[in-house]
Structure 1
Amino acid sequence: MTERYPVLEGAEPFYFEGNNIGILVSHGFTGTTQSMRPLGVALAEEGYTVCGPRLKGHGTHYEDMEKTTYQDWIQSIEEGYQWLKERCDTIFMAGLSMGGTLTLYMAENYPELKGIALINAAIEIPTMEEVKQPQDIRFLDSIGSDIKKPDVKELAYEKTPVQSIKEILKFMEEVKANIAKVNAPALILVSDEDHVVPPDNSQLIYEKINSDDKKLVPLKNSYHVATLDNDLQLIIDEVLGFVKNRIE
């Protein structure tokens, strides 16, 4: 899949070379690496090697996204994982929204992952199901920038391709069907109020994964894009503590 449009400023992938502990971070559906950069930078400042891939079809134009499949998004993450594997002995992963779905997918298929951090992760979004009905609409409204903090804007598409919604629905279904394969230690962070992914997704994930080591943390002052919202410092502190406690 060749992208026709240039990468938007701020949507570039990021790589920070540090110690032999790697952390893969994934942005979400229609979003960009901008949403994960503050967390990525905070992790890198602690000495970790961090990789934040740009998912194929993201961070350019929604017409590029329309042509991608969920396998393309998986491939983007697997490429980031390989980059880390060449440099690190131990790898963790953190993801926001569909980045959380991708994190679960990786935990299902790469059991050597040392731990996962999920931020408003998605395994079922009932409001998206209506696109399965035949219709002539190619694009729906944006789902980006669900942020409580005033004057903060997410770098995300202004339209959402219907074809891409069909792809994420298939992807969530696959991940949910295999969720019992997840054994990795899990930190699950969930906003009390989220207008994109119903918060009960996180409770469901908590119950369905097979991890003995798991923790659910409420984010009381953020909406969906919590990594750009009021609870950013809490997320950073929780993820750093989670990683540190699993490598000592």
Structure 2
Amino acid sequence: MADSYPVMKGAEPFFFEGNEVGVLVQHGFTGTPQSMRELGEYLAHCGFTVHGPRLKGHGTHPEEMEKTTYKDWIASAEEGYRLLKEKCSQVFVVGLSMGGTLALHLAHRYPETRGIVLINAAMSMEELEKVARQEEPRFLEGIGSDIKAPGVKELAYEKTPLKSVRELVRFMAETREKVSSITCPALILVSAEDHVVPPSNSRFIYDHLSSDDKEWVELQNSYHVATLDNDKDLIKRETEKFIRRLAGKEIGAGRDR
């Protein structure tokens, strides 16, 4: 199914060629690669090969998203992962919100994943689950731009299809069942105050992952879209440090910054 609406300006996917270490950076539900681009550019500047796909039905029009299922979003993420796998000897996955849910799915689907970085990852949202049981309205208010920093806006849909909420709820439920079988190293970044995904989601992931190597970093000055918020530089540094530690000698010195 091809998109029938044009891609919004700024919502385009990105790919930066680098070394043997691949990093997939994955945006969230109703969002676009714009929320991950600055982090992606930073990681590319570190020397890594970085890809930020656009999930099917995202970055065009809510009516486009309404036609997609969570399996379409998984397919978009898996396509991005395989692209990096062809070019790189190891792959890391970084995900914001539902992008974190996708990172967990990918770590389960591809156990060779070198590490995952989860930023306010979505596992269970009680309010959303209540909404998913409704029959109407067809479109709900948008959930984008939960950002503490003044004047910063996320490029996301201003309305959310109810059908897509149901798909997200199904996807989270399916992924929760997989968490305990995931063993790759994980860096979990969680905002102390988040008005979209409760911080308890990250605690669930931390407690249930079977990884021997788990790190927890609290973001004290950001809301949900932390990659665009006050702690974005902390996220960049922690993600780079995590990848460098695990990637070892293959990464070289990186490029000058």
TM-score of the pair, normalised by structure 2:
0.95
Q: Shift in Å at residue 131 of structure 1?
A: 2.7
Give the Cα–Cα distance (whole angstroms) in 2 for the partners of residues 17 and 216 of structure 1: 29
Give the Cα–Cα distance (whole angstroms) in 2 for the partners of residues 60 and 135 of structure 1: 24
Give the Cα–Cα distance (whole angstroms) in 2 for the partners of residues 234 and 37 of structure 1: 15
Q: Within 5 Å, which residues of 2 pair with 1:1-248?
A: 1-248=1-248
Q: Letter of the 1:175 partner, please give it.
A: T
Change (3 A) 1:135 1:210: same
Task: Name which of structure 1's ranges 79-88 and 29-38 shifts more when overlaid on structure 2.
Answer: 79-88
C-alpha deviations, 1:25-84, integer Å up to 9, x for none? 100000000000011000000110000000000000000000100000010011111111
Number of the residue aligned with 2:252:
none
Task: Name which of structure 1's ranges 8-17 and 124-133 shifts more when overlaid on structure 2.
Answer: 124-133
Q: Shift in Å at residue 133 of structure 1?
A: 2.7
Q: Letter of the 1:214 partner, please give it.
A: K
Structure 2 residues not aligned, in runs of 5+: 249-257
Aligned-residue CA RMSD (Å) = 0.7
Paired residues in the alignment total 248
Give the Cα–Cα distance (whole angstroms) in 1 for the partners of residues 153 and 235 of structure 2: 18
SS for the counterpart of 1:215 is: strand
Give the Cα–Cα distance (whole angstroms) in 2 for the partners of residues 210 and 191 of structure 1: 23
Give the Cα–Cα distance (whole angstroms) in 2 for the partners of residues 16 and 224 of structure 1: 26
Q: Shift in Å at residue 134 of structure 1?
A: 4.1
Number of the residue aligned with 2:254:
none
Give the Cα–Cα distance (whole angstroms) in 1 for the partners of residues 135 and 26 of structure 2: 31
Give the Cα–Cα distance (whole angstroms) in 2 for the partners of residues 14 and 178 of structure 1: 29
C-alpha deviations, 1:180-206, integer Å up to 9, x for none? 111010000000000000001001100
Q: Letter of the 1:140 partner, please give it.
A: L
Give the Cα–Cα distance (whole angstroms) in 2 for the partners of residues 132 and 242 of structure 1: 36
**Aligned residues of 2:132 and 2:162 also touching (Cα < 8 A):** no
Task: Name which of structure 1's ranges 130-139 and 59-68 shifts more when overlaid on structure 2.
Answer: 130-139
Aligned-pair identity (%) = 60
Q: Letter of the 2:105 partner, please give it.
A: Y
Give the Cα–Cα distance (whole angstroms) in 2 for the partners of residues 213 and 4 of structure 1: 43
Q: Shift in Å at residue 136 of structure 1?
A: 2.8
Give the Cα–Cα distance (whole angstroms) in 2 for the partners of residues 6 and 47 of structure 1: 32
Give the Cα–Cα distance (whole angstroms) in 2 for the partners of residues 51 and 87 of structure 1: 11
Give the Cα–Cα distance (whole angstroms) in 2 for the partners of residues 136 and 12 of structure 1: 31
TM-score of the pair, normalised by structure 1:
0.99
C-alpha deviations, 1:130-171, integer Å up to 9, x for none? 234342310000100000000000000000000000000000
Q: Letter of the 2:146 partner, please give it.
A: D
Give the Cα–Cα distance (whole angstroms) in 2 for the partners of residues 40 and 122 of structure 1: 20
Give the Cα–Cα distance (whole angstroms) in 1 for the partners of residues 198 and 126 of structure 2: 9
Q: Shift in Å at residue 109 of structure 1?
A: 1.0
Q: Letter of the 1:120 partner, please give it.
A: N
Q: Letter of the 1:194 partner, please give it.
A: D
Give the Cα–Cα distance (whole angstroms) in 1 for the partners of residues 161 and 11 of structure 2: 19
